[in-house]
């Protein structure tokens, strides 16, 4: 997650201020897991009441775009421009990956979308309604896991969910235990439901936070690094759950530093860099617009690497019996002939399909070392 500059924490603290009692109470910090409680904060309730007449689209039912921002900008006191004129469009029913290097503005954007901080300028609409003005109407339809779950360590996983659900004014207490059991089952925590949360591993805590976001049907899920701390099997299970939720009609908006994860589970993606949107669209289209890497399979990797460099190939990398490179701007048949003429035993030659990582590097000019 990108960190706010030290000089700007006063503004962020004002936006996210909680009382001393709240700091000891995970339910009072429920915007970290489920933003329903955020909608109940006095400033947002008052704002929603004052602006009810300008909220358009009723409940937002039937909108084709679940998230839409126009020229959304956040400049912190002191001048740092965290998000610069963002025009983001998230289609309904999509699994939308939000990508970008460290400090690119992803977390700041999510905070603005959820009403945790206000933009300096521009607009954001979630489920067809303006945020943060319509927070009270919108947030009960949104489940979120942002910056990790806040949990009562001395309570069991099951009792944590019961407390979260009890803090939601829209939740039906008559179905609470049934819904809690169903949420635990969906994230694979039924067997550990009675264990105290302080004994949970990082991955189990992440699962419990996701369960909290699933206590009620949500039209939109906002997930920040949802597979953080999970082992490979757990990651596969969460990916499967995300696909299942999307097939049921829930739009999933997730940020992740794992490009492979985004490519496997997301239908659409957006790439941020230095606070600006670089590109967005269907994942397949983003990768298709990038040229893949040239791959030569040979036992003569050293000679092959030398010839490829002589032929103008860039970023030549040797891995076992494979040599990969950025293809040169010339006929690849001539490159293959040069390898053979140099005595390189070529057992495989071709250009791989470009990956999302290739597209990211081509768009941003940097590797994908992301923390937020």
21-46 pLDDT tens trace: 333 444 444 444 444 444 443 333 33
Q: Please state, rounded to an integer, the average pLDDT across all residues of the chain.
A: 80
Q: Which pLDDT score is estimated for 101? A: 76
Q: In this predicted model, which residue has the larger pLDDT, 89 or 367?
A: 89
Give me the mean pLDDT over the 127-148 stretch.
Answer: 90
User: Does domain 65-288 fall into CATH 3.40.50.1820?
Assistant: no
Q: Are 131 and 59 in contact (CB under 8 A)?
A: no
Joined together, the tokens standing for residue 281 give 């669209």
State the pLDDT at residue 179. Answer: 96
Residues facing residue 96 across a β-bridge: 253, 268
Domain spans of the chain? 65-288, 290-364
Q: Which of 29-38, 81-90, 205-214, 220-229 has the lowest mean pLDDT?
A: 29-38
- Rounded to whole angstroms, how far apart are CA atoms 210 and 207? 5
90: left (phi over 0), alpha (psi -120 to 50) or beta: beta
Which position has the higher pLDDT, 62 or 118? 118
The CATH code belonging to domain 290-364 is 3.30.70.100
Q: What percent of the chain has pLDDT over 70?
A: 76
pTM: 0.69
Burial of 81 (C-beta count, 10 Å sphere; 0-12/13-18/19+): middle
Question: Matching CATH topology for 65-288 and 290-364?
Answer: no
Cβ proximity of 174 and 228 under 8 Å: no
Q: Is the pLDDT of residue 51 over 90?
A: no
pLDDT for 361 equals 67
For the cut 50, the answer to whether the pLDDT of residue 148 exceeds it is yes
Q: Distance (Å, rounded) from C-alpha 119 to C-alpha 169?
A: 27
Q: What's the pLDDT band for 57 if we cut at 50, 70, 90?
A: very low
pLDDT at 296 over 50: yes
Least confident of 55-59, 137-141, 148-152, 300-304: 55-59
Contacts of 119 (CB under 8 A, 6+ apart): 72, 73, 74, 83, 112
For residue 306, pLDDT beyond 70: yes
């Amino acid at each position: 997650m990108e960190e706010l500059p030290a000089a700007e924490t006063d503004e962020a603290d004002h936006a996210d201020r909680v009382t001393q009692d709240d700091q000891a109470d995970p339910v009072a910090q429920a915007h970290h897991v489920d933003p329903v409680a955020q909608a109940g904060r006095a400033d947002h309730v008052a704002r929603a009441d004052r602006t009810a007449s300008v909220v358009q689209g009723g409940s937002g039912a039937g909108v084709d775009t679940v998230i839409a921002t126009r020229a959304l900008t956040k400049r912190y006191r002191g001048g740092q421009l965290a998000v610069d004129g963002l025009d983001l469009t998230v289609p309904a029913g999509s699994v939308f990956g939000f990508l970008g290097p460290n400090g690119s503005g992803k977390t700041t954007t999510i905070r603005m979308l959820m009403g945790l901080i206000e933009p300096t300028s521009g607009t954001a609409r979630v489920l067809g309604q303006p945020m943060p003005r319509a927070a009270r109407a919108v947030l009960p339809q949104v489940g979120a896991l942002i910056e990790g779950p806040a949990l009562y360590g001395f309570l069991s996983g099951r009792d944590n969910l019961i407390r979260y659900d009890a803090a939601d004014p829209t939740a039906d207490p008559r179905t609470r235990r049934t819904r809690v059991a169903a949420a635990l089952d969906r994230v694979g925590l039924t067997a550990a439901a009675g264990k105290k949360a302080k004994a949970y591993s990082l991955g189990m805590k992440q699962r419990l936070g996701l369960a909290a976001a699933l206590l009620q049907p949500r039209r939109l899920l906002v997930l920040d690094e949802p597979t953080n701390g999970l082992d490979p099997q757990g990651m596969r299970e969460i990916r499967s759950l995300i696909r299942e939720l999307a097939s049921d009609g829930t739009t999933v908006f997730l940020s992740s530093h794992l490009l492979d994860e985004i490519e496997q589970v997301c239908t659409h993606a957006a790439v941020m860099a230095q606070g600006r949107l670089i590109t967005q669209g269907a994942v397949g289209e983003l990768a298709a617009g990038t040229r893949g890497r040239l791959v030569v399979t040979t036992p003569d990797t050293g000679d092959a690497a030398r010839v490829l460099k002589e032929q103008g190939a860039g970023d030549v990398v040797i891995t076992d019996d494979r040599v990969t490179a950025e293809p040169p701007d010339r006929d690849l048949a001539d490159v293959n002939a040069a390898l053979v003429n140099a005595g390189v035993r070529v057992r495989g030659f071709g250009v791989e399909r470009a990956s999302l990582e290739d597209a990211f590097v081509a768009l941003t000019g940097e590797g994908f070392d992301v923390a937020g």
